[in-house]
Amino acid sequence: MHYRKLGKTGVGVSAIGLGTEYIWHEPKETVARVLFEAINNGVNYIDIFMGSPGIRDHIGDLLGSRRKDVLLAGHLGCIDIEGQYAKTRDPNTSKKFIEDFYARLRTDYIDVLFIHNIDENNEFEEAFSSGGIFEMALHMKEEGRARFIGLSAHKVSTAMRAISKNYIDVLMFPVNPAFDNMPTEQWIDPTIIDYSYSVISDNENQNRTNLYNLCMQHEIGIIAMKPYAGGWLFSEANPSSMVLTPVQCINYALSQPGVTTVVPGCKNSEEVRAALAYLEATDKDKDFSSVIDSPMWKIKGKCMYCNHCQPCPTGLDIGAVIKLVDTAKHGLTESLVAEYRALNKNASDCIQCGLCVKRCPFGVDVIAHMKVTMKVFEDAL
């Protein structure tokens, strides 16, 4: 397993995490197979957003003394009404369900306590106002019952608001190539499939990119949910004709700035193994550059940090360099400079051979990026 630092929390998180939404109503034996396939292979991040008692009891029982080996994410504001998912902004109802989380998971603390699913401005205001659920989360953090506070969201605007106001340590956000290229309202409602790609504005694409960069800049680790776009990316019938494997989807998500881990929802141990296959996959298996064949793909000349352009004769990690300079365009920080310094090779090592430019499927002018990188970073050193 690879472990990556979860932004400013400093905690090491497995590159592959586990989402549990597809074993929500499954019997304990199924939950056990999925859970142990994951944690026996080094997965140490488990998201349990659901408020239903069954899944909480099963995971609490199964983890037992191994609780301390994993990071558990719980969600404040996610509840269960007669076996169905629901969300609330009401502090009393939220409290009741989060106390149930502690009791059933048999734990005194939650590693990442998310303010659950805030997509609209009015929800944001309600949750983050005085007496709201964010204030409750802060109290729980002060008491040592929550180590870190996160926000789960599907829209850029509320996520950016929380980060800019320095409210959160972690962001849970959907990251996949389909959502990065589609207008939000179309993937939030999957029944809308008869759409015109022309309605995608550069602005929307740009906003998601800006959000990832903002997270990297503020050292907010992103937990990438929906890496497969709910399985949509596996289907030949999807309207984007963008068809990828789990390994390609995971590589895409993990390549984006700020992303620490992916949390695919797995309904059986085979699906866990399909995600873990990323760890042993070859560069060819991980290559997601076929996305550019989709009529949906609108991003031209923008680095996807895939390193399809490697090897570089001077040993530059091209994707890593460009990711840093893309983020620094939104503001140079000490941590970005430190990351740049820590690279084995810097932009000034580029001999402008142009090999990478010929190999890049996304039409990126790498040499121009290296020149900008030198200006941005090496003038600052």
Least distance (Å) from ligand SF4 to the CB of residue 181? 15
When binding is defined by CB under 6 A, the residue of 1, 353, 380, 381 that contacts ligand SF4 is 353
Residue 381: in which H helix or E strand, if any?
Answer: none
Beta bridge partners of 81: 84
Q: Which residue lies nearer to ligand SF4 by CB, 118 or 304?
A: 304
Q: What is the C-alpha separation between 160 and 274, in angstroms, rounded?
A: 32
Cβ atoms 320, 341 nearer than 8 A: no
Instruction: Examine residue 220 and tell whether it contacts ligand SF4 (CB under 6 A).
Output: no
Nearest-angstrom CA–CA distance, 370 and 275: 33
Candidates 6-14, 169-177, 235-243, 355-363; binding stretch for ligand SF4 (CB under 6 A): 355-363
**Least spacing, CB of residue 179 vs ligand SF4, in Å:** 18
Distance of CA 116 to the CA centre of its chain: 15
CB of 279 to ligand SF4, least distance (A): 20
312 touches ligand SF4 by CB under 6 A: yes
CB of 314 to ligand SF4, least distance (A): 5
Q: Which residue has the tokens 């009393």?
A: 92
Stretch that binds ligand SF4, among 17-25, 113-121, 290-298, 360-368 (CB under 6 A): 360-368
Pairing of strands 3-5, 71-76: unpaired
Q: What is the DSSP string of 99-139?
A: HHHHHHHT-S-EEEEEEP---SHHHHHHHHSTTSHHHHHHH
Among 238, 248, 307, 373, binds ligand SF4 (CB under 6 A): 307
**Rounded CA gap, 57 and 141, in Å?**
24
Question: Is residue 291 at the binding interface for ligand SF4, with CB under 6 A as the rule?
Answer: no
Instruction: Look up residue 318 and give its two tokens.
Output: 């091209």
Kindly tell me which residue out of 364, 373, 376, 377 binds ligand SF4, with binding defined by CB under 6 A: 364
**318 binding ligand SF4? (CB under 6 A):** yes
Residue (46 or 325) nearer to ligand SF4, CB: 325
Do you find a cis peptide bond into 311, omega within 30 degrees of 0? yes
C-beta of 106: minimal distance to ligand SF4 in Å? Answer: 44
How far is it between the farthest Cα atoms of the chain?
Answer: 64
Region near ligand SF4 per CB under 6 A, out of 47-55, 62-70, 256-264, 348-356: 348-356
Rounded Cα gap, residues 61 and 55, in angstroms: 10
The yes or no reply on residue 373 touching ligand SF4 (CB under 6 A) is no
Contacts with ligand SF4, residue ranges (CB under 6 A) = 303-309, 312-314, 316, 318-319, 322, 350-356, 360, 362, 364, 366-367, 370
